[in-house]
Structure formats: C-alpha cells, structure tokens
C-alpha cells in the first residue's frame, strides 16, 4: 500500500512542528503570566502557548496534506470537530502542547504531537520534545525514526517463552490517579501479578517514547483522546507494539470511553491483557 506521505512531506511535518515550537511555545516556557494560563476543568490546563501553537500548526499541516485537522483546543470548543474520526476519511490530529500541566509547572516533560488517521486507524505519528530537541516519527509501511535514525523494532519472543519474558519486562507505567473507583481497584489488584507500576509522566509524548525505547514495559491509560494516542500508537506499531483496549476490542480513534487502553509489545500484549482483564472484569 502506498504511504499517505512521501519523504518530503514527512520531513515537512517535523519542520512545521519545530518552527511552531520555536515561535509559539518555547518563548512562553517558564515565562507564562497568570493571564496566559486557563483551566478547562479540574487539573486540565490550557495556555496561550497551546492556543497559538494550534492556530499556527493547523494551516501548515493542511498545506502538506489537505484533510481535516482535529486539534485538541478546537475540539474543546466544538466537539463536532472530532466527528471526522468516525468516518473513512483521512485526518490530522494535533496536540499542540501535550503535558500542559508539566509545561505550566516548568517541567521539560512536554511535547508537540501530530497524528494521521485513516478510516479510524492511527497510521502516522510525530512527537517533538522541544526541550530535548528529539523528534520521533512513524508512518505505516515506512517505519519509525528518531531524529532521522531508524528506531529498532523489538525482537519477538517465542510463544512458549512469552509468559516468562513478561516477568522480565521493565515496569509498566499506569494511569491510576484519574481512574474511576472500580477501575482503580482492578488496576491495583492486577499490580500484584504484574509487578509494581511506574507512574505515567502525564505526557503521552514522553510515555510512548519511553515505551518504544524500552524504558517501560507497557502503558495503561484510562482516558483515550485521539490527539493523545494516535501519534504514539502509530510510531509504536512500526516498532512491533500493539495499542488496544483491555476488553480485546482494539483501538478505535473515535471511541473515547470504555475499557482502559493497553500499549505493549505485540508478542506480550495478550498475556498482559489477560491479567488486567481478569481484575477489571471486562
């Protein structure tokens, strides 16, 4: 199947992200005035950097591939923006500042994320970490890269050895804090079998790169907005990972509620899913 973007177009996405980060985000890092920070909900920040970066990046992406853009901040004002994710169309997703709470706190653990969806599936992803300068990218059928260098795929484990190998994985990182009570209880119970959890960084743009560089063994999320997961899921898929719901229903970008999402090595995914599903009763 022909990739949606050629090499020049893929490079143009990363270049656009860097230009917007340098113009709209980094100058505001650790320099936000009180009036430039707003709350959309409890603990859910939006800043002038988020708003201006999305406004700048949206037309730049459409100039590369003229399809709808589903931006986090546009969708927060008009939920119908997300409707395209349930169709057969191609669409961009944009999280202009992923990890906004970290950004507000002055932590370098924030990212700019762009995704590409086709028929409801993640097929492309770009994650820029502005303060480190690292750019991760992946496109279906092309591969995954960091700073232009190929990301190695994981070596497959023979089926008979999978369960033993799962025990040797690095800690998984799990979102417990914002889970509903019954989900939180199930995740805590599963921890006894899976081993102690690491904490998510509260920035999917760092969590997913931790996963594909094998700094963490798996990720579990209880919230599933497309702009948070499409980029990482697309990059991870090119490295030998699967992202899907713990009830086995897969990952559909238009579905934001339901069983938690699990991202793990494809050859270990089912073994981890079985443990989580048993304790979550899904």
Binding residues for Mg(2+): 72, 95, 98, 228
DSSP designation for 85: G
Helices of type H across the chain: 7-20, 48-64, 72-77, 100-104, 162-167, 181-194, 204-212, 226-238, 266-280
Give how far Cα 101 sits from Cα of 65, 70, 107, 226, Å.
31, 21, 9, 19
- Give φ, ψ of 45 to 5 degrees: -90, 150
Report the alpha-carbon angle 174-177-178, nearest 5.
100
Starting at the edge strand that comes first in sequence, how are the strands of the sheet with 143-146 ordered? 69-71, 90-98, 111-118, 121-129, 134-139, 143-146, 149-150
b/e map of 105-120 (b: 16 or more CB within 10 Å)? eebbbbbbbbbbbbeb
Instruction: Give the C-alpha separation, 74 to 129, whole Å.
Output: 22
Binding residues: 72, 95, 98, 228
């Amino acid at each position: 199947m022909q990739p949606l973007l050629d090499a020049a177009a893929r490079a143009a996405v990363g270049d656009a992200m860097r230009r917007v980060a340098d113009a709209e985000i980094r100058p505001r890092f650790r320099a936000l005035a009180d009036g430039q920070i707003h709350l959309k909900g409890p603990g859910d920040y939006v800043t002038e950097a988020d708003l201006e970066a999305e406004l700048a990046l949206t037309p730049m992406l459409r100039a590369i591939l003229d399809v709808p853009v589903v931006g986090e901040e546009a969708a927060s004002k008009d939920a119908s923006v997300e409707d395209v994710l349930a169709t057969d169309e191609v669409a961009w997703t944009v999280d202009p500042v992923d990890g906004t709470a970290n950004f507000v706190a002055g932590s370098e653990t924030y990212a700019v994320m762009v995704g590409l969806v086709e028929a409801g599936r993640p097929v492309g992803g770009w994650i820029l970490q502005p303060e480190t300068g690292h750019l991760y990218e992946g496109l279906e059928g092309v591969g995954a890269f960091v700073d232009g260098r190929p990301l190695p795929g994981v070596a497959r484990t023979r089926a008979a050895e999978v369960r033993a190998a799962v025990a040797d994985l690095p800690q998984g990182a799990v979102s417990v804090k914002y889970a509903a009570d019954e989900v939180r209880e199930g995740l805590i119970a599963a921890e006894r079998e899976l081993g102690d959890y690491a904490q998510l960084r509260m920035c999917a743009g760092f969590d997913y790169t931790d996963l594909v560089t094998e700094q963490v063994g798996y990720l579990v999320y209880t919230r599933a907005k497309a702009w948070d997961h499409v980029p990482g899921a697309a990059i991870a898929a090119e490295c030998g990972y699967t992202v899907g719901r713990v009830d086995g229903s897969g990952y559909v970008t238009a579905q934001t509620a339901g069983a938690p999402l699990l991202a793990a090595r494809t050859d270990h995914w089912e073994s981890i899913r079985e443990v989580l599903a048993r304790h979550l009763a899904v």
